[in-house]
Chains A and B, each alone.
Chain A
Amino acid sequence: MPAINLKVGVQSMGRFLSGMVMPNIGAFIAWGLITALFIPTGWLPNASLAELVGPMIKYLLPLLIGYTGGKMVGGERGAVAGAITTMGVIVGTEIPMFMGAMIAGPLGGIAIAKFDNMVHGKIKPGFEMLVNNFSLGIIGMITALLAYVVVGPIVSVVTTALGDGVAWIVEQSLLPLVSIIVEPAKILFLNNAINHGVFTPLGAEQSAEIGSSIYYLIETNPGPGLGILLAYMFMGKGAAQKSAYGASIIHFFGGIHEIYFPYILMKPRLIIAVIAGGMAGVAFNMVTGNALVGPPSPGSVFALVLMSTSGMGILLTLGSIAVATTTSFIVASIIIRNDASETDDLAAASALVDANKAESKGQVPVMANTVVKSIVVACDAGMGSSAMGATVLRGKIEKAGLNINVTNAAINDLTDADIVITQQELSARAKLKLPSARHLSIGNFMDTKFYDDLVDSLS
């Protein structure tokens, strides 16, 4: 179905974009804290220490994104090429180049990966280091120049246009309408794609200009979800009501928003409540001028408070959470009270959430209409368990008549695959190495049922 393809496509793109940002969120937070403390309007204004703010946002953060983007497509050499290329877009413009880094980083990585593939096995013994070093240097130089001359100016124009568009939305007081897209998207586990792929870079750029950004508050406000859980506590019944107490603590203090998704899936009309709550929170922040200095990750009340601006910032942030919570609570209470017809099966809704989440992370029974060309079975050494697993899976793939290449590799050698299969203990390492792939975890590599299910889902 086209809708499924669109969702999978958006999730893949979101995974790729957020994969460049998420490993570097700590650096964003460090920058946000330095900004919050030392800029002239900060908690402890200090002109000398505030000099860190500019170079960090202009150079450090885009370079980290570019480095990570390059690494995702071209390994260690891709990372270096990505960082060199990103320098081209940074120097080529005056604005912080987050979007540029998201293009330049992978571009550098792809360039060096293509070169490496082209010369693989053709370098004469003894010349490997010479070729490796100079190819990286020369290709990096070319891509940096390309980024400086072409990518930077284009991204600059696009960024300016987007900025103008967003400014228009803000001027027309339409920003709260963004919640109509954001809140339902969260339930589909597009939250990381939206937050870290879009709002964090946009927020960082705005924050560099004016010291803080409202974009950091759009997706991260825990108020809408808290309103839903409170409504279940007061108006709900059965398991949903009892579990809502614990869920609200995890959600509000721990910042794990995913925990309230099953409660919405039990009564899909509650999506109206989170949209209303989200809109109310954004409207409150827009009217009061409240914003955060850095990305609050995860979206816990503690993180939001820490990233608040000085002065009234904390109170306004807590106010926006309260407004969003109250609005969401009122709407959700009405819906829950008047809606006895729909299921209260929390377990079924939780299962649906797990399926959505697995799908968003690629841990899915892969859908038949998804194009899968290569599967890599990976283990630590790349010659033992993975070789056995790849052999079993290859036989089943061939028997099913599927045109999919199945190989085995060490996790450290992962460079490209649509699906990566690893033992559960190694999945985190594999995801870190190749975040763009779908990752499936297996108990042991000779588990034929696992492979049968996978082949069924691919057929």
Chain B
Amino acid sequence: MTTPEQTEHTEETTGHGDISVGVAGSGDSSASATRITPGNALRPEDIALEVRTGLVKPSEDVAEYALRLGDDALILAQRLGHWISRAPELEEDVALGNIALDQLGHARSFLTYAGGAWEKSEDELAYFRREHEFRSAHLFEQPNGDFAVTIARQFVVSYYQFELYRRLTESTDATLAAIAAKAVKEVDYHRDHSAQWIIRLAQGTEVSREKMIHGLKLVWPYVAELFADDELTTRLADAGAAVEPSSLKADFDRLTGEILAEAELEVPETPAAPGGGRRGKHSEHLGYILAEMQVLAREHPGASW
């Protein structure tokens, strides 16, 4: 795994910064509805800079943990990106694309930080690891299915991630806390988006209701893995750096239960799938996702575009 040259990434990290130079500082006097500002928020480039200058360096445990969260978001972003140009309506196309980009942003932050422990860039981690080196849970690699299946997956993911990031903002690891603080607001909107659709599809037509029920049934077996503790999470939770996944379950059950009750749906009682994503054991789906996601970077190592 001695691939792309470091110089490539140094350049990349400074490249994006230019956005702020162009539009920052224009006062609030303009009444244009399309006035744009980059805003102030933690960017992956900021983390890369801190890592490069040695300001922060995650411990092996924290890096492994960040890798899990980053892989979850990365695989989901790749899945959701597939909806672009394929959603039922143009507006929904944009909504799912936005959510995918949010997730990609979280993935970049987590992977950049994790890479600090092994002197690897986010790109090296995303494009040059093999299937068994990915630490994402099985839910994230589940196929998009129809719109209702994607909404069901989004529903579980966003309610899980919200509870997780909400607590991670109090992590003793400052970088994890900062990434979570940025992510939690975005994930909150993802919750709202999925909840709105759960209710509408469930109470729309007979067909939409059937599809919604079917979608939930398909994704529910993968819920249990999200809330499974292991040695790493226990160690990190004891140190205050992470939260035990099992501690999120009660809030997840309560809040998703409220939405499902409002939609007059039942919580599916499907048996849990075996899982194993955190140990690098994946379903048959991940290989195909990685093939598509990694092909360009592997075909032209070190290329920039």
Binding between chains A and B: no
The interface of chain A, by Cβ under 8 A from chain B, is: none
